Every structure is written in structure tokens, then in C-alpha cells.
């Protein structure tokens, strides 16, 4: 499902126009990314939790040359599905 399909689905499920659904999706994405940048997590009961995960610095290998390279520490977004979402899949 791509962004356009998500907007269409939101519009049909909520009764909003496609333009309003698009603005709502953009606002949701902006709010979630803003909270994650501050180090907060976003919990949507029944759906799941978005959070920031820290990856430590490590060494790796260049697949073309086999040379050892250093990979810097980074922050990544993680998502843990909630019980209701998991249950809906089975």
C-alpha cells in the first residue's frame, strides 16, 4: 500500500475528502517524527508503539573489497505492534 492508497483508504473510512485525508496523514507523520526527534515514543493503544532505537558503532566489511570499515553509531525508528494489531492478523 503506497501513500496515495493510504489517503484513499482514510478518506473512504472517515468520510473526509481526499485533500483533508492527505492533510491529516501529513500532520500525523509530522507529529510522530517531531516526537521521535525529541526522544519520545508514540503509543497508539491497540495499534503499536513507535520509538527510537540506538545502534552502537561497529565494524563491518565492504562487500566489494572485503576491507574492514567503521560504521558510526546511529538512531533508528522502531515499531512494536500492539496486541490488537497482532490479533487481527491471525
pTM here is 0.79
Euclidean distance between CA atoms 15 and 21, whole angstroms: 9
Euclidean distance between CA atoms 41 and 30, whole angstroms: 14
Euclidean distance between CA atoms 14 and 20, whole angstroms: 10
pLDDT tens per residue, range 24-82: 999 999 999 999 999 999 999 999 999 999 999 999 999 999 999 999 999 999 999 99
Q: What is the pLDDT of residue 43?
A: 96
Residue 11 and residue 33 share a domain: yes
Residue 89 and residue 48 share a domain: yes
Residue 90 and residue 72 share a domain: yes
Give Cβ neighbours of residue 22 (< 8 Å, ≥ 6 apart). 7
CATH number for position 52: 4.10.520.10
**Count of domains forming the chain:** 2
Element (H, E) at 86: helix 83-89
Residue 52 and residue 28 share a domain: no
Of 24, 42, 52, the closest CA to residue 82 belongs to: 42
2: domain range?
Answer: 1-39
Amino acid at each position: 500500500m503506497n501513500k496515495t492508497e493510504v489517503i484513499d483508504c482514510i478518506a473512504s473510512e472517515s468520510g473526509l475528502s481526499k485533500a483533508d485525508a492527505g492533510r491529516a496523514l501529513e500532520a500525523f507523520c509530522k507529529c510522530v517524527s517531531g516526537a521521535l526527534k525529541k526522544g519520545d515514543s508514540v503509543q497508539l493503544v491497540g495499534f503499536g508503539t513507535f520509538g527510537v532505537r540506538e545502534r552502537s558503532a561497529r565494524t563491518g566489511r565492504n562487500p566489494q573489497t572485503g576491507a574492514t570499515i567503521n560504521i558510526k553509531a546511529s538512531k533508528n525508528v522502531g515499531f512494536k505492534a500492539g496486541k490488537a494489531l497482532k490479533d487481527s492478523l491471525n
